[in-house]
Amino acid sequence: MREHLIPKKWYKRLWQIPVTELVNNGIKGVIVDLDNTLVPWRQEVSAASDKLLKWLEGLKRAELDICIVSNGGSSRVSRFADKLGVKYVAGVPKPRRTPFKKAMELMGTSPKETAVIGDQLFTDILGGNRSGCYTILVTPQAKKEFFTTRLIRVLERKIKTHLELQGVFPRQVSGGGNKDEDL
Ligand SMILES: [Mg+2]
């Protein structure tokens, strides 16, 4: 279980992940979490930033497929998928492997060709690693989230600190210190 909680990389924001990093690692499809990864928790698609849209365009230009995998309600998730022009899987909770498998089926990619990007160790990173994908952690965009998620964050922080002290957790790539780039 322990090694399954360690992401390959940790970025502050998803749009800081270089498309070349994905391509150079043989990635052909990207599974992205919705809440606090694409947009702050519970926000609608109007909250999608220009940086996010530009980053998604870059992925598409590099011919990478994109699929949102979210525990959120399927009508909201499908609104995002339609607006952003990507695929989606909703209604099957992470970290179960089923939603990741479904997403890979939709994109026609193998686990080795698939990256999983999300803000939670116990759902996105655990599920992505168990599925054999290339996992990237991002820092949550907002502090607001479900009460239960906030409780899980306490445990997440403990585990992260423990793994950091052991030197096995990646350092956060912060985007070169330009604060504007982070938000
Ligand atoms: Mg999330």
Q: Ligand 1 centre from 41 Cα, in Å?
A: 7
Query: How close is the Cα of 84 to the center of ligand 1, in Å?
Result: 17
What digits encode the pLDDT tens for the residues 56-94? 999 999 999 999 999 888 999 999 999 999 999 998 899
User: Closest Cα partner for 5 from 158, 173, 182, 174?
Assistant: 158
Among 47, 5, 52, 2, CA closest to 30: 52
**Residues of 95-105 as b/e, b for ≥16 C-beta within 10 angstroms?**
beeebbebbbe
In the reported structure, the alpha carbon of residue 71 is separated from the centroid of ligand 1 by a whole-number distance in angstroms of: 8
CA of 111 to the centre of ligand 1 (A): 21
Instruction: In whole angstroms, give the CA distance from residue 87 to residue 137.
Output: 20
| Distance in Å, CA 120 to ligand 1 centroid | 6
Q: Measuring CA to CA, which residue among 171, 170, 169 is closest to residue 159?
A: 169
Are the C-beta atoms of 130 and 101 separated by less than 8 Å?
no
* More confident position, 1 or 117: 117
Distance CA 32, CA 180 (A): 23
**Distance, CA 133 to ligand 1 centroid (Å)?**
17
Distance 127 CA to ligand 1 centre (A): 13
Ligand 1 center to 129 CA (angstroms): 16
In the predicted structure, residue 2 carries a pLDDT above the cut 50: yes
User: Model-level pTM?
Assistant: 0.93
C-alpha of residue 60 to centroid of ligand 1, in Å: 22
* Chain position carrying tokens 């306490």: 154
Q: Mean per-residue pLDDT for 125-134?
A: 98
Tell whether the torsion through CA atoms of 28, 79, 13 and 145 is positive or negative. Answer: negative
Q: How many angstroms does the Cα of residue 37 sit away from the middle of ligand 1?
A: 6
Asked if residue 7 has pLDDT above 50, the reply is yes
d(CA 97, CA 75): 22
The residues that bridge with 10 in the sheet, in sequence order, are 137, 172
For the chain, the first-to-last Cα distance in angstroms comes to 32
Around ion ligand 1, residues with a beta carbon closer than 5 Å are 33, 35-36, 119
Tell me, in angstroms, the distance from the centre of ligand 1 to residue 99's CA: 14
Q: Does residue 141 contact residue 36 with C-beta atoms inside 8 Å?
A: yes
Domains observed in the chain: 2-174 (3.40.50.1000)
Where does the pLDDT of residue 144 fall: very low under 50, low under 70, confident under 90, or very high at 90 and above? confident
Show the beta-strand stretches assigned E in 45-171: 65-70, 87-90, 114-118, 134-138
